[in-house]
């Protein structure tokens, strides 16, 4: 080697030294130092394609996707024939939600390198993000053929299969990935989540505990472990897990939120209600923004308070009970609610005005979300406001509904029932059952069944011979309330109908999954929220047969 380097050669030598230092920082996960090092390299040697390419990857690892795209495109301008660069740019574009561009970049990478498993895995990721789980699965399967030892190819097949509603097939792929690498924390995490979705809670706990052991700093893994322990009814252990996450990151909203649900599930309202306010940070719910301040629970001194509904119709029906209490404190109460409930809520005392959501609001001084009222009014397990009924049904109804309700033989026990909730609800697969589950109830002596299920599948009622379908006549909640008031008993899974019957003070039997929502608590057969409600619970995940055996027995022996 010559002893005297030219100026350009000296720059290139320094650049190579700087590149190696940046690369070492990159490998150690010191991405900020890697980014700074790569930038120094490209400043001195703008044509250093590896530095530009690695800068793209390091910026993406730091969450700076916009800058990563720019760096990747600078690299591509120098070497458009490098498949790896197209893959890196695609990953950054996916992070930005620019899925069409990301797909094009990956198709270019595959054209350049058809045997690239990495390109196929990334293409699958983009397709899955775009909602094309079936096409994503094909890409992952091809990647697994190209590189049988690629753990992502196997694990991501599992994710796509889970998206496609094939959890059992997904479990096979996750286990295949773990056969390749038993120490992959993310795969244990995915396996645990899928086991939880299938109701295999003990196995799910084992997988999630393994994931935590492999990656103790993974807060989402820890939180999901806590959720699974909560589903098992191991509340103290679940709260300990959530507290551990919060100790690591006091602002980790998902842990606070799930901790709140665990505490409320066991009636620990003192700690549960304040933590419930984390719903705004941890869920897709967006807090309302008004110029007027939030009510803090202080005496309102005859000011007008806007109570605005949130979450589902059932939540509104359950918590509208607090409106009279707010009025009793000296407030003029205005309620904003879903349009479907306006007519029914007119019967709730203490409300001065009801406004359908989306309509212009009247003047008001303070506001409060409806589900923040238990905390504001210091609700405890021993003072739940349960002065039932707090809603009433209208006196009149359409003649068609009256005629349908009169179909039962005199002396029959008239039972209205619902077997499914909103199919878009994230927990619908757990809390809904099949229509056919109700068929044995129609065989009980002196029982007459009325279906109140909306959006019924074409063949669902064929499984329920002799059942009268009320749904065509239940065009609003007032009509439904009238029907409930005319029936002897309501039997339903966890739906708004349960809250409606409870608020009307009508007998209602609620059918609950093994892991119920917090409001129904654990182990008890009654509800402190609705004195006329009886709870029937699964003794193990998915066991609706056992629930309906208990219901049939209760009907036979006289409820």
- Domain finish residue from 222, 252, 284: 284
Q: How confident is the model at residue 9 (pLDDT cuts 50, 70, 90)?
A: low
214 and 360 in a single domain? The answer is no
The strand pairing partners of 449, in sequence order, are 415
Contact status, residue 426 vs residue 284, Cβ threshold 8 Å = no
Among the candidates 284, 316, 346, a domain finishes at 284
Query: Does residue 542 sit within a domain?
Result: yes
104-125 pLDDT tens trace: 999 999 999 999 999 999 999 9
| pLDDT score for 3 | 45
Q: What is the pLDDT of residues 140-197, one digit of tens each?
A: 999 999 999 999 999 999 999 999 999 999 999 999 999 999 999 999 999 999 999 9
Residues 207 and 313 grouped into a single domain: no
**How many separate domains does the chain show?**
3
Q: 493 and 369 in one domain?
A: no
The reply to whether 280 and 228 lie within a common domain is: yes
Q: Is there a domain that residue 486 lies in? A: yes
Which phi and psi (to 5°) does residue 436 adopt?
-60, -20
Q: Give me the torsion for CA of 101, 104, 106, 109, rounded to 10°.
A: -130
The pLDDT value recorded for residue 215 is 95
**Domain shared by 418 and 540, yes or no:** yes
Q: Is the pLDDT reported for residue 413 higher than 90?
A: yes
Domain-located, residue 161: no
Answer yes or no: is pLDDT of 386 > 80: yes
CA-to-CA dists, residue 29 to 53, 91, 113, 229, 289, angstroms: 16, 18, 28, 33, 40
Q: Which of 251, 284, 317 is the last residue of a domain?
A: 284
* pLDDT at residue 511, as a whole number: 97
Q: Classify the C-alpha dihedral 155-161-167-170 as positive or negative.
A: negative
Within-domain flag for 149 = no
Residues 416 and 537 in one domain: yes
Looking from the CA of 420 toward its CB, the CA atoms found within 13 Å total: 16
Residues 404 and 525 in one domain: yes
482, 544: one domain: yes
Rg over alpha carbons for the chain, rounded to the nearest Å, is: 30
| Residue of higher predicted confidence among 421 and 263 | 263
Helix H or strand E segment including 351? strand 351-356
Give start and end residues of each alpha helix (H) in 232-290: 235-248, 253-265, 269-276, 279-282
**219 is in which domain, residue-wise?**
183-284
Q: For residue 89, tell me if it sits in a domain.
A: no
* 424 and 480 both lie in a single domain: yes
User: Are residues 278 and 362 located together in one domain of the fold?
Assistant: no
User: What's the pLDDT score for residue 137?
Assistant: 97
Dihedral sign computed on CA atoms, order 470, 475, 480, 483: negative
Tell me how far apart the alpha carbons of residues 205 and 209 are, in angstroms, rounded to a whole number: 6
* CATH label of the domain that carries residue 513: 3.40.50.2000
**Same domain (yes/no): 473, 424:** yes
Q: What are the residues facing 468 on neighbouring strands?
A: 450
Q: Are 415 and 528 within one domain? A: yes
Residue 57 domain-assigned (yes or no): no
251 found inside a domain = yes
Tell whether 276 is covered by a domain: yes
pLDDT band at 559 (very low <50, low <70, confident <90, very high): low
Q: Which CATH number does the domain housing residue 211 bear?
A: 1.25.40.10
């Amino acid at each position: 080697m010559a002893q005297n380097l030219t100026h350009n050669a000296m720059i290139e030598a320094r650049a190579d030294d700087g590149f190696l230092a940046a690369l070492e920082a990159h490998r150690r996960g010191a991405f900020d130092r890697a980014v700074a090092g790569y930038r120094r390299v490209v400043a001195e040697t703008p044509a250093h394609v590896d530095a530009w390419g690695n800068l793209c990857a390091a910026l993406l690892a730091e969450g700076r996707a916009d800058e990563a795209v720019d760096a990747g495109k600078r690299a591509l301008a120098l070497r458009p024939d490098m498949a790896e660069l197209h893959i890196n740019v695609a990953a950054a574009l996916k992070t930005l939600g620019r899925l069409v561009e990301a797909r094009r970049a990956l198709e270019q990478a595959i054209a350049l390198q058809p045997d690239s498993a990495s390109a196929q895995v990334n293409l699958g990721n983009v397709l899955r993000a775009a909602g094309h789980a079936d096409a994503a699965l094909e890409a992952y399967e091809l990647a697994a053929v190209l590189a049988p030892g690629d753990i992502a190819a196997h694990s991501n097949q599992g994710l796509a299969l889970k998206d496609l509603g094939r959890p059992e097939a997904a479990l096979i792929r996750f286990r295949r990935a773990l056969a390749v690498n038993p120490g992959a924390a993310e795969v244990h995490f995915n396996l645990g989540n899928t086991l939880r979705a299938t109701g295999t809670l003990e196995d799910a706990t084992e997988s999630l505990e393994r994931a935590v052991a492999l990656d103790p700093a993974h807060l989402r893994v820890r939180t999901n472990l806590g959720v699974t322990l909560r589903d098992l009814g191991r509340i103290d252990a679940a709260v300990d897990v959530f507290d551990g996450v919060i100790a690591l990151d006091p602002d980790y909203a998902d842990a606070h939120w799930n901790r709140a649900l665990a505490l409320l599930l066991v009636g620990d309202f003192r700690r549960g209600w304040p933590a419930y306010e984390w719903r705004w940070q941890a869920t897709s719910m967006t807090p309302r923004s008004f110029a007027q301040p939030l009510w803090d629970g202080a005496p309102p001194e005859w000011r007008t308070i806007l109570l605005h509904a949130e979450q589902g119709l059932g939540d509104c029906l359950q918590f509208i009970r607090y409106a009279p209490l707010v009025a009793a404190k000296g407030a003029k109460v205005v309620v904003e609610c879903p349009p479907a409930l306006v007519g029914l809520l007119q019967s709730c005392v203490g409300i001065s005005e009801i406004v359908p959501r989306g309509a212009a609001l009247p003047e008001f001084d303070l506001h409060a979300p409806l589900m923040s009222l238990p905390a504001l009014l210091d609700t405890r397990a021993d003072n739940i406001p349960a002065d039932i009924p707090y809603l009433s049904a209208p006196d009149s109804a359409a003649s068609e509904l009256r005629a349908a309700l009169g179909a039962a033989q005199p002396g029959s026990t008239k039972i209205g029932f619902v077997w499914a909730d909103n199919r878009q609800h994230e927990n619908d697969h757990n809390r809904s059952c099949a229509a056919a589950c109700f068929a044995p109830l129609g065989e009980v002596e002196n029982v007459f069944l009325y279906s109140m299920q909306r959006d019924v599948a074409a063949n669902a009622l064929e499984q329920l011979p002799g059942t009268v379908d009320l749904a065509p006549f239940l065009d609003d909640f007032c009509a439904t309330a009238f029907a409930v008031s005319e029936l002897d008993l309501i039997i339903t899974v966890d739906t708004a109908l349960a809250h409606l019957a409870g608020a009307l003070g009508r007998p209602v039997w609620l059918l609950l999954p093994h892991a119920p929502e917090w409001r129904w608590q654990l182990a008890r057969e009654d509800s402190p929220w609705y004195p006329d409600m009886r709870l029937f619970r699964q003794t193990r995940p998915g066991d609706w047969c056992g629930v309906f055996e208990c219901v049939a027995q209760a009907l036979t022996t006289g409820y």
